[in-house]
Chains A and B, each alone.
Chain A
Amino acid sequence: MNFDGKIVLVTGSSRGIGAAIAKAFAGEGATVIVNYVQNVDAADEVVAACKEAGGDATAIQADVTSGEQIQALVDQTLMDFAKIDIVVNNAFKPYTFDPDNRKQFWDLEWQDYQDQLDGALFSTYTMCQAVLPALKKRTQGSIINMASDLVARPTIPYHDYTTAKSALIGFSRNLAMELGPLGIRVNCVAPGLVYPTDASRKTKERIKEMIVAQTPMRRIASPEDITGPVMFLASDWSRFMTGQTLYVDGGLVMK
């Protein structure tokens, strides 16, 4: 897969799955915008790894729950690189996947849902609005939104998180309908539990073993497992696919 000359914007890519996606694109020759919100050192490390992998990269700080900061991120990217080909909406509101200490439904407040909706949906909505003029201008582009296989199978009911990701899939399908005629594709990738990432570090062995036992491929995903399907949806190899959700969880969910 060759992404030479492609400009790829990956939100929340200083660590975890986002960092793996950034590095994978760079490894195929892309120029990657490594967006981060706090950890500048981690972002710089990802940029260095991208360059070492054979691509180009630059780190841009922006909080994706802020409309203004997203606009500034897109503006700066366009100023520096004149175009954007691929957007991966990967950032989300920090969430700890701790099965033993999760909030039960009756412990949740609407604000918990609101926070996750802001993290997953508002940020993606705003990002799409911000990049759309640039994508429309060239009537091409691929948007990939990161969901979760919990949407189809809430092994652990992380209500607020999973509800927001469910909304994101509905959002993406509608957007795919709207942007199809303009040559812009919108798809989702729904990973299973990915370990290790900062978010999943508290997930106990017992839970991981339980998931492994039910997963046909018999293991937990690593961040690198997620990159292939993302790049596939970003590439012309999937040029006739839009509005789809690819589950990347070793077969735990089959749809």
Chain B
Amino acid sequence: MALRAGYLPGINANDVEWQTLTYDRDGQAIEVLVPLLSDEQMKDLSGRIKEVSRQHLKSMAVSDITATIDAAIARLLDRNDTYRQQAEEYLPLITGYDAEMVRLGLTGYLKTFRQSELRRFVAEDFVNPKILDEFQPLPKGGYGRAYGPDLLAHIWAGNVPGLPLWSLISGLLVKAGNIGKVPSTEPLMASWFAHIIAEIDPKLGQCLAVVWWKGGDVDREQALLNQADLVMAYGNNDTLHQIRDRTPITTRCLTYSHKVSFGMVSKAALDTGKAWEVAHQAAYDIVRYDQQGCYSPHLFFVEQGGAVTPQEFAQYIANELDCFEEKFPRRSLSIEEASGVAAWRQSEEMKSFFAENNAVMGDANDAWSVAYSEAEEDLAPSGLNRTAKVISVKQLDDVPARIAPYKAFLQTVGIAAAPEELQRLAGMLGAVGVTRISALEHMTAPEAGWHHDGRFNLLDLVTMTEVERSAETAAEAFSDYVD
């Protein structure tokens, strides 16, 4: 059977060209139909979404929008709901991720979009969230109101199930009309979400659409870029560069590029009682979605001087990865991915020939590898797909200076350390460009309202309209009650 991705309000499905994407995982083939809009259709769709966004969405209260999103998320959390059941059944087949990992991952992720979390999300960026609904007094004087764009274009990438929901929900919260382009690697979740929104609130359902084109289809991409008021794009630097270049000069373009995240383990966490637990948490961050997220750790700086040595800690991680392979088996890799892993292993093995204590743990056939090093190495991404490196360091305080040259690539650091160390390291890491610090085991699950790459998710999307004090004062002179 073929599933249908995409969501196109106001367009008859028969008028659309549908392409078939085929996914073949371990002998189970599945087909997904994706919509390919003509230039004209994209223009019409954009026009309609802008119109409804202006007429309807902008007059909705943020609290009504959060209530609708909450109701949609509740359905995706309900194991008896048909969309949830489809997600549990098909997302593992589409993405290759272990079914249990997807099931648990979806629940953990979707929970961050319940109403209370969404309100926190808004409050995080707007001291007074009412500023999205009506003009509010400003501290400097006068009044201001924040407006989302009429059409926010999202160009998503990657295969972590449901990731597009982040920016799509951000768009809705600032009352933007949205057109999102799903990647071929996971086209379903955003489409289902849009359908659910439309089922709950048909009018709101006319304010968003989910489209597709093959990555690199410049013409189709251009058709959307031309219509958008604001563009949010994800992917590697080359892709983002092209998108930014083709975005009209009057349109803002926000890009989220690939990042490198890592972990830090203090000797305070390396006593015989806690070390295993910490290794378990570190391994979980490696395993979750096979390091496909920007927040996934590639390496761990582990401090010397604890009861458990960095080398033993690396061995603990190796064994935990082996145990996780039973629980959440790694997805089968593409040829490119497998050769990426092999190349990384090979280069790490080469290094271990020349450094006595360096080692690569795990066989080439294992679904994981851990490299261990005592050398002063540069920050480099791992081979992905459950490959990680443990670097032994004299003290964690030395790490920030070592990673400083990579400022543009840094994102999340997972830390296991005592409170004073955490404070001290946070200051040093923030100064060299790290934008998020979390506990280990939470690296891949940012909390609601986090600032992606240190940016303001919602604030970046709006423009302020200010009524200055002078206008107010001047208006007084023209009132009919003027003395």
Contact = CB atoms under 8 A, between A and B. Distances in A.
Contacts of A212: 323
Nearest to A222: B326
B83 to A, nearest CB: 21
B277 interface: yes
Interface string B299-326: 0000000000000000000011001101
B104 A205 contact: yes
Interface stretch (A117-125, A148-156, A177-185, A213-221): A213-221
Contact of A220 (B104, B276, B320, B327): B327
Main secondary structure of the interface of A (DSSP, over half): loop
Nearest to A215: B323
A99 interface: no
A218 B327 contact: no
A196 B323 contact: no
Contacts of B276: 218
A218 B280 contact: yes
Contact of A213 (B277, B319, B324, B326): B277
Interface of B: 100, 104, 276-277, 280, 319-320, 323-324, 326-327
Contacts of B324: 219
Given A219-B326, A220-B326, A222-B326, 15 more contacts: A196-B100, A205-B104, A212-B323, A213-B277, A213-B280, A217-B323, A218-B276, A218-B280, A218-B319, A218-B320, A218-B323, A219-B323, A219-B324, A219-B327, A220-B327
10 contacts: A213-B280, A217-B323, A218-B276, A218-B319, A218-B323, A219-B324, A219-B326, A219-B327, A220-B327, A222-B326
Interface string A191-219: 00000100000000100000011000111
Kindly state the interface size class of chain A when it binds its partner: under 10
B322 to A, nearest CB: 9
B101 to A, nearest CB: 11
Interface of A: 196, 205, 212-213, 217-220, 222
Nearest to A221: B326
A158 to B, nearest CB: 23
Question: Which 4 A/B pairs are nearest by Cβ-Cβ distance?
Answer: A219-B323, A218-B323, A219-B326, A222-B326
A218 B324 CA distance: 9
A222 B325 CA distance: 11
A213 B284 CA distance: 14
A53 B320 CA distance: 30
Contacts of B104: 205
A100 B168 CA distance: 36
A105 B102 CA distance: 36
A220 to B, nearest CB: 7
A213 B280 CA distance: 9
A196 B326 CA distance: 11
Contacts of A220: 326-327
Contacts of B280: 213, 218
A128 B178 CA distance: 68
Contacts of A222: 326
A20 to B, nearest CB: 13
B279 to A, nearest CB: 9
Nearest to B108: A205
B79 to A, nearest CB: 11
B25 to A, nearest CB: 18
Contacts of B326: 219-220, 222
A142 B276 CA distance: 40
A224 to B, nearest CB: 9
A213 B277 CA distance: 8
Nearest to B324: A219
